[in-house]
Amino acid sequence: MTAKSTKTTVDVKKSAMTGLLAQSPKTPKLGEIISGQILEVGRDTVFIDLGAAGTGVLLGREIKENRNLIKSLKPGDTISAMVLEEENTNGFIELSLQAAHREQSWDVLKKMMTGQEIVKAKVTAANRGGLMIELNNVAGFLPVSQLSAEHYPRVEDGDKNKILQELNKFLNKELAVRILDADQSQQKLIVSEKAVGEEKVRQALTQYQLNDLVEGVISGVVDFGAFVRFPLKGTENQAKPEMVEGLIHISEIDWQLIEDPRQLLHPGQKITAKIIGIEKDRLSLSLKALKKDPWQDIDDKYAKDQIIEAIVTKINPFGAFAQLDKDIHGLAHVSDFGSLENMSQELQINQKYQFKIVSIEPLVHKMALSLVRPENTAKAQSTTEASMPEIEALKTE
């Protein structure tokens, strides 16, 4: 036999072996989900025909935990299960229905997330951070921040126990949500109710422009501002108009310094506000934009180096705020006192003191002050007298 014919024979044998291997059944791997037909349903065992791969079996705990499903099975039915053991002591492939269901549940959840599907999730428990939910037999979490505007717990004093009371009202209810994160490796499922309405809100907000005026009702007041609900443009006269919600930030309530929005606004109060910001599904509103800016005429009332009396309203690490009148506040920087400790000793909240105006910046609504101390009183009085004619001159001009 020549070398060439010998090589040909070897190649033919290799090809034949490769074909046989390709035709031979693959051994199922641990964690793999496989399907087969029910052969026999016993009290403690269920045998499954896996074709060329062999025979699978469900044992003990799998039978007990899936009793209702097992009762409904009969020979010839097709089911899917996960491989727990490639070959047990009796030569069978040990399977798990529970593990297969969990695996398939996560696969479904991932598809829901990718497709941005809107699904129903059942609320199973509540804590101060949000709601525990169940979706496709997997436990998940709906954070408070991801609740819809309608369901967000707007507790006036921010009491966490009251917030929990509000959240408990959703127990055993179903909420329409979208999946934000489905990570099987970390067993993490996060959903959002707010995301469901975002696209609808975005479309609704295209009907509005900056500087539009809206009439609505305060729907909630929190530490950082107030929420306002108003009917969507074009639906005002409907029996049940579509509602849109915007936020008046605490800095947009009034020109004066606001410590607590609840001092001026309360739920149910009717107001007219101006739209100052539209960003995706967020609408920013303002009340102070409808009022005259008191800093426009600041030169008619105050001037640099003028000595004024002001009430200290707030002390921060960087300085003390002092109220000159209803709308105008100034800041005495901590550097004027040497340290925060010195400032806290020299000033008290709600007390009136004499200050010298160091600078005025009307465009950015800033006024710098310096405390007039007792040893400088005479000089302060002299400066005040000199300042008044200057202000009168400005008024005349």
Indicate the CATH number of 207-290 among 2.40.50.140, 1.20.120.1810, 3.40.50.300, 3.40.50.2300.
Answer: 2.40.50.140
Q: Do 300 and 355 meet the contact criterion of CB atoms below 8 Å apart?
A: no
For residue 366, report the phi and psi dihedrals to the nearest 5 degrees: -125, 140
pLDDT band at 393 (very low <50, low <70, confident <90, very high): very low
Q: Tell me, what's the pLDDT at 102?
A: 72
**All residues at 6 or more sequence positions from 17 whose CB lies less than 8 Å from its CB, including other chains:** none
- Helix %, strand %, coil % for the chain, to 5? 35, 35, 30
Q: Is 19 helix (H, G, I), strand (E, B) or coil?
A: helix
Angle (CA) 327 330 331, round 5°: 145
User: What does the pLDDT average to over 320-332?
Assistant: 92
Look at residues 223, 224, 213, 228 and name the one whose alpha carbon lies nearest to residue 269.
228
Look at residues 375, 370, 335, 366 and name the one whose alpha carbon lies nearest to residue 353.
370
Q: Tell me, what's the pLDDT at 391?
A: 44
User: Which long-range CB contacts under 8 A does 193-198 form with residues at least 24 apart?
Assistant: 193/142, 193/146, 193/147, 193/148, 193/151, 194/145, 194/146, 194/147, 194/148, 194/149, 195/146, 196/118, 196/148, 197/148, 197/149, 197/281, 198/280, 198/281
Q: Do 210 and 275 meet the contact criterion of CB atoms below 8 Å apart?
A: yes
For 36-100, CATH gives: 2.40.50.140
Secondary structure of 327-361 as H, E, C letters: CCEEEEEHHHCCCHHHHHHHCCCCCEEEEEEEEEE
d(CA 296, CA 362): 7
Q: Tell me, what's the pLDDT at 290?
A: 94
Of the chain, the percentage scoring pLDDT greater than 70 comes to 85
* Tokens standing for residue 40: 């026999």
Q: Do 321 and 314 meet the contact criterion of CB atoms below 8 Å apart?
A: yes
pLDDT band at 335 (very low <50, low <70, confident <90, very high): very high
pLDDT band at 15 (very low <50, low <70, confident <90, very high): low
Q: Is 85 or 142 the better-scoring residue by pLDDT?
A: 142
Same fold, 36-100 and 116-197: yes
**All residues at 6 or more sequence positions from 271 whose CB lies less than 8 Å from its CB, including other chains:** 215, 216, 217, 218, 228, 265, 287
Q: Is 343 or 237 the better-scoring residue by pLDDT?
A: 343
pLDDT band at 396 (very low <50, low <70, confident <90, very high): very low
pLDDT band at 239 (very low <50, low <70, confident <90, very high): confident
Q: Tell me, what's the pLDDT at 8?
A: 46
* Tokens standing for residue 210: 């900056």
Look at residues 157, 154, 155, 151 and name the one whose alpha carbon lies nearest to residue 169.
151
Q: Do 271 and 254 meet the contact criterion of CB atoms below 8 Å apart?
A: no
**All residues at 6 or more sequence positions from 126 whose CB lies less than 8 Å from its CB, including other chains:** 132, 164, 167, 168, 170, 171
Q: Tell me, what's the pLDDT at 132?
A: 93
Question: Would you tell me how many other CB atoms lie within 10 Å of the CB of residue 155?
Answer: 17
The DSSP H or E segment spanning 314 is strand 307-316
Map out the domains of the chain as residue ranges.
Answer: 36-100, 116-197, 207-290, 295-396
Indicate the CATH number of 295-396 among 2.120.10.80, 2.40.50.140, 3.40.50.300, 3.30.499.10.
Answer: 2.40.50.140
For 116-197, CATH gives: 2.40.50.140
User: What does the pLDDT average to over 165-193?
Assistant: 89
User: What does the pLDDT average to over 202-213?
Assistant: 84
**Token pair 């025909």: residue:** 49
User: What does the pLDDT average to over 193-210?
Assistant: 79
d(CA 200, CA 197): 5
